[in-house]
Amino acid sequence: MKIKETYISHTGLVNVGNFALFIDVQKDGVNVDNDELVKQSTFFPRIVLLGEPFEQREDVTKFCKKIIKQNEKIKIEIHTKGLIKPLSIPSIDNINFNVHLQLKISGLDYKQRIKSNVINWYNQVGANFLFIINIEDELDEANLIIQENNISKRDVYLVVEDSEQLEQVRIWAKLNGYNFAPNFRKFLWKKDGRN
């Protein structure tokens, strides 16, 4: 699997404060042997896969299967943009998907950032859907995507990364019946001792 970096920290979004090994999975990263990565990861209670892990679906699937076989109690969080469906991921109980759906502000065309058939798969397995919100137009767009894709409000998180917008986004989440997720990694522990 190609990895950009690994580091130890605490989760900062949906499951805040959990001690974890973070693995940034990137196609342009360094090739790391799957068995070696499993050895390094086995003793952590939680693994967080960042980047776009499913660009390397086969390797990520093998890694998840091996790590769960080694440690049946491990929790794996997989962060994705929701553009690629995983291959047969084992034991959904151990795996939590955080789908970061991109809004118009990303500069990408709608068809490049929203894949309804893939969103539907994540919806069926109870994934969390995260939207970074700064202004009301972004909230309106998120609401449309949520409605068009039949995403349950209980699975929606409005993410705020700007401390000045913290209270406003919390109010929007409350008014719309969504969850609220300040990105504590951005607010409190920006570098985790990394350069």
93: pLDDT confidence band, cut at 50, 70 and 90? confident
Among the residue ranges 47-51, 141-145, 179-183, 186-190, the one predicted with the least confidence is 186-190
Total of domains in the chain: 1
Question: Is residue 128 in a domain?
Answer: yes
Question: Is residue 147 in a domain?
Answer: yes
Question: Is residue 12 in a domain?
Answer: yes
CATH code of the domain in which 43 resides: 3.20.20.70
Q: Which domain holds residue 131?
A: 2-187
Q: Is the pLDDT of residue 91 over 70?
A: no
* Residue pLDDT, tens place only, 95-154: 999 999 999 988 899 999 999 999 999 999 999 999 999 899 999 999 999 999 999 999
The backbone torsions φ and ψ at residue 64, rounded to the nearest 5 degrees and listed phi first, read -60, -45
Q: Is the pLDDT of residue 187 over 90?
A: no
Question: Is residue 143 in a domain?
Answer: yes
pLDDT at 170: 93
Percent of the chain with pLDDT over 90: 73
Question: Is residue 164 in a domain?
Answer: yes
- The CA distances from residue 132 to 85, 90, 94, 151, 157, in Å, are 22, 29, 26, 16, 9
Question: Is residue 154 in a domain?
Answer: yes
Percent of the chain with pLDDT over 70: 95
Question: Is residue 195 in a domain?
Answer: no
State pTM to two decimals.
0.91
Question: Is residue 193 in a domain?
Answer: no
* Mean predicted lDDT score pLDDT of the chain: 90
pLDDT at 40: 92
14: pLDDT confidence band, cut at 50, 70 and 90? confident
CB burial readout 134-167, b (16+ within 10 A) else e: beeebbebbeebbeebebeeebbbbbbbeeeeee
Q: Is the pLDDT of residue 8 over 80?
A: yes
